[in-house]
Amino acid sequence: MKTPPSRRRTLLLLVAATTCAGLAGSLAIAASDTTDPVAGHVAKWTRQREERAVPLYTLTVDIARVEPGVGNVMVGLYDRDTPFPEEGKHLLGMKVPAPAGDHVTVVFQGIPRGTYALAAIDDLNRNGKLDFELGVRPSEPLAFSNAATVGPFGPPKFDRARFPVDGDTTVTLSF
């Protein structure tokens, strides 16, 4: 498989996904290691994980109030060095089909100790991005860790949505 010319190096992060319907699989999320500072941070973070220089944990994300059987659920994991909640700038990302029920569980494995935040979108039309009404107000359900909400001036700041990972951790989100 050839690396696209727009990417210098591609790092594959294997992430296991599980839905309440019992579907399991693994997805490869690619992060480009270019001059982009976020990509450089992701590459450093990935090297630390691969070298096992730090303890690694499992982060389980339970998401409630998913629109049953419609679209995809997209989840992004961020840390302090990644712009939260900017699309495409997450450390790890996951996209799973909406389950038949109203609940989905996503599992990120190999997460080092640290402070993180989550952002999730119920991508009802499967276009891979958050849609807006009149270019301002989100028209698809979204959720943030720590029950952070969208305010009058935009999405929550990292500090409002942060949570610690210092062992295997479960976080609950609700659309």
Q: Is residue 121 part of a domain?
A: yes
What is the span of the domain harbouring residue 170? Answer: 15-29+56-174
pLDDT above 60 for 153: yes
SS3 sequence, 21-53? CCCEEEEEEEEECCCCHHHHHHHHHHHHHHHCC
Confidence label for 52 from pLDDT (cuts 50, 70 and 90): low
Number of domains in the chain: 1
Q: Is residue 145 part of a domain?
A: yes
pLDDT above 60 for 16: no
Q: What are phi and psi of 51, to 5 degrees?
A: -80, -10
Q: Is residue 106 part of a domain?
A: yes
* pLDDT per position as a tens digit, 56-70: 899 999 999 988 888
Q: 27, 28, 17, 90: which is closest to 59 by C-alpha?
A: 17
Write down the pTM of the prediction.
0.68
* pLDDT per position as a tens digit, 100-136: 888 999 999 999 999 999 999 988 888 888 888 776 6
What is d(CA 119, CA 161) in angstroms, rounded to the nearest whole number? 9
Q: Is residue 22 part of a domain?
A: yes
pLDDT above 60 for 11: no
Q: Percent of the chain at pLDDT above 90?
A: 31
94: domain CATH number? Answer: 2.60.40
Structure tokens at 136: 């301002």
